[in-house]
Chain A
Amino acid sequence: MISNIVFAILLIAGIGGFVYNAGKIRRNILLGRDVNRSDRKAERWKVMGLVALGQKKMFKNPLPAFLHLCLYAAFVITQIELIEIFTDGVSGKHRIFRADLGAFYTFMISFIEVLSILAFVATFIFLARRNLLKIPRFVKDEMTGWPKLDANIILIAEIILICFIFMMNGADEVLYQRKLSHAPYLEDNSFGFLISQHVGPLLFGGMSDSSLHLVERIGWWGHIIMVFAFLNYLPFSKHFHIILAFPNTYFSNLESKGKFTNMESVTNEVKLMMDPNADPFAAPAPAEGEVQRFGAKDVQDLTWKNLLDSYTCTECGRCTAACPANQTGKLLSPRKIMMDTRDRLDEVGKNIDKHGKDYDDGKSLLGDYITEEELWACTSCNACVEECPVNIDPLSIIMDMRRYLVMEESKTPSELTGMMTNIENNGAPWQFSQADRLNWKDEA
């Protein structure tokens, strides 16, 4: 009875804590400017199905894709087992679905066990890739300190979680064989789960009855505590991608990657400038709502999709590995752009919690996190956007910050000022007269 109450408290606290912190992230994301991503719903579901659920973009790189798939499948399928664990935990029963589901139950748990073993192996390989092989994209400048620790914590937690699963099933198997399990007895001598029916006796066969009960309980409680701990770790970790990948791909940009947004505020100004009937002395129309700055200086100037992107990023670094600027030693790393955006947004969120909504800490994403040098190194080639397995768009953040630099602060690299002056004066980025545009026709 006490264990039921403890479980219920754990359940409520675990889910409550997650909902509370996820709510804060939602609030932070909604600090961004509006952008319409509610159109073309059928297409959006399809993109989400292919890219998030189907992991389509992961498979450009088959080895990590396969290893990741092992973890992903184990994670998704294990959720089904959680239904039973929750039901058992609240009701005080043990393996409540086994009697009714019969062979299907054995199949499901066996399936989960096989995936767990694959995930177990994959996790060790992942740890090795990060810490021993030091795959280049995992050891870039932005991957020291917390991001590195975060990645290792997640992997080690996964290993512990899987150990608990096999303690639980393995010890229970031995107990079942000794007719001491709390599970309902069918006319058999084994649960028949593919892995634990062998591993259980091997590991725990020599233990006393009481030790077995202890191991089984440690496994069971350890598993569920890890699940709740993991759930509550997510909002503070890059690992939140396991949830946000779904909305993030649903709200993907469905336009051609080369199409950059046309700023509406600018369109209005330009139309006015080009309208021969416009009264040059007329007082400007009162602005509707708050006057927005051109481009982005801080996270609130970005769209909510940019901000959702930042929380979705799991710092895998495929973007940075594909970035031509990064490959040639420039400061720009698209992954860092996403991490900076998220870290700054977290900071803004904490300021709101502490000091209220209108507090200004005098810092901004541009300057305190991202430097001009990074922004000007971008070739806008879209390799980062193409690579991202969850359709994050670092390029649109870079472009919005360039817009701020150029249009609000006139901080344009001098050669680009020359280029722009030429376009204004003679309609070409170079200093050639527009009257000479057709000269090529008669040149030999």
Chain B
Amino acid sequence: MSEALRVPTMAEMMASGETPDILFWVGCAGSFDDRAKKITKAVVKILNKCEVKFAVLGTEESCTGDPAKRAGNEFLFQMQAMMNIQVLDGYEVKKIVTACPHCFNTLKNEYPELGGNYEVIHHTQLIQSLIDEGKLVVAGGDTFKGKKITFHDPCYLGRANDVYEAPRQMLQKLDAELAEMKRCRTKGLCCGAGGAQMFKEAEKGNKEVNIERTEDALEVKPDIIATGCPFCNTMMTDGVKNFNKEDDIKVMDVAELIATAADL
């Protein structure tokens, strides 16, 4: 790691009279989950490298309410939403980027009716535009040369919001072989974590969903399973471990792959 991460908070920005161009919504997983924190840092490295003027809410950030809403607790969801909207509007936030498709979906689709109107993008979309604008050069040389990467579509990014191409276009910059699973894009199989399943045991069945999905991935014999969601990452990592393949197959977020390739 070259230099310390620069992660200004909205409060610090405001105190120094500055307005960031974009808010980085870290999300609960990105803040607290040890694996997801690495994804958060990869995103920050990219933002730092490209000198994107961003800020985080830090301790003022709170759950978007997504898992509560999907679990049927609309009261709790709307309480969270209204409180978050007050904070976001207090800082006059216009644009938000997040590395979590669940936060992305909720902020983008479900906050507007409650008064929270922001331009919300997923981190793969932001990184894609940074590459397109020439601000981020991915010339990582041989890091991924000859490697086979398969992309697992997060439901809340793909089917829920029709974002299929941004992560794939980024992966194509890596000089690696991009192999699709038999079920991909609109037909992509869920990792098993959505709809608040992340926070409970699965109902009685004959298999775990993440095992079923990991089998899809193993079929293409990848070196790396790429995804764009911290929860998918957890589920796929567990799935790979289940098959004792963790030494051969890495589960990585697209942001981590790009950060590595760009030598960050």
Give B86's nearest chain A residue, CB to CB. A274
Q: What's the count of A-B pairs with C-beta under 8 Å?
A: 219
Assess whether A20 is interfacial by the CB under 8 Å rule: no
Q: Which of B74, B82, B207 contacts A329 (CB 8 A)?
A: B207
Most chain B beta-carbon neighbours within 10 Å: one of A270, A324, A405: A324
Quote the shortest CB–CB distance from A397 to chain B (angstroms). Answer: 13
Quote the shortest CB–CB distance from A232 to chain B (angstroms). Answer: 38
Assess whether B95 is interfacial by the CB under 8 Å rule: no
Give A375's nearest chain B residue, CB to CB. B72
Stretch of B171-179, B197-205, B251-259 on the interface side = B197-205
Contact A434–B155 (Cβ < 8 Å): no
Give A323's nearest chain B residue, CB to CB. B190
Contact size range, A: 35 or more
Question: A328-B205, A328-B207 are contacts. A380–B194 as well, Cβ < 8 Å?
Answer: yes
Bound-state CA distance A429–B68 (Å) is 9
Assess whether B263 is interfacial by the CB under 8 Å rule: no
Assess whether B148 is interfacial by the CB under 8 Å rule: no
Contact B200–A415 (Cβ < 8 Å): yes
Residues in A with CB closer than 8 Å to B68 are 419-420, 423
Residues in B with CB closer than 8 Å to A377 are 202-203, 205
Quote the shortest CB–CB distance from B197 to chain A (angstroms). Answer: 5
Quote the shortest CB–CB distance from B61 to chain A (angstroms). Answer: 6
Assess whether A330 is interfacial by the CB under 8 Å rule: yes
Within 8 A of A (CB), among B119-162: 155-156, 159-162
Within 8 A of B (CB), among A9-51: none
Assess whether A144 is interfacial by the CB under 8 Å rule: no
Most chain A beta-carbon neighbours within 10 Å: one of B31, B56, B68, B74: B74
Within 8 A of A (CB), among B182-230: 186-187, 189-190, 192-209, 211-213
Q: Which of B9, B61, B70, B113 contacts A399 (CB 8 A)?
A: B70
Contact B205–A428 (Cβ < 8 Å): no
Q: Which of B156, B196, B198, B212 contacts A324 (CB 8 A)?
A: B212
Residues in A with CB closer than 8 Å to B31 are 428, 432, 436-440
Top 4 A-B residue pairs of the complex, sorted by shortest distance between their CB atoms: A258-B160, A380-B195, A427-B62, A402-B72
A-B contact pairs, 7 of them (CB 8 A): A267-B114, A331-B204, A404-B72, A407-B72, A423-B68, A436-B59, A443-B37
Instruction: Known A-B contacts: A378-B195, A382-B160. Give 18 more (CB < 8 A).
Output: A258-B109, A260-B70, A262-B78, A262-B110, A263-B78, A327-B189, A327-B212, A379-B197, A406-B72, A407-B74, A412-B72, A424-B76, A427-B61, A428-B31, A436-B32, A440-B31, A440-B37, A441-B5
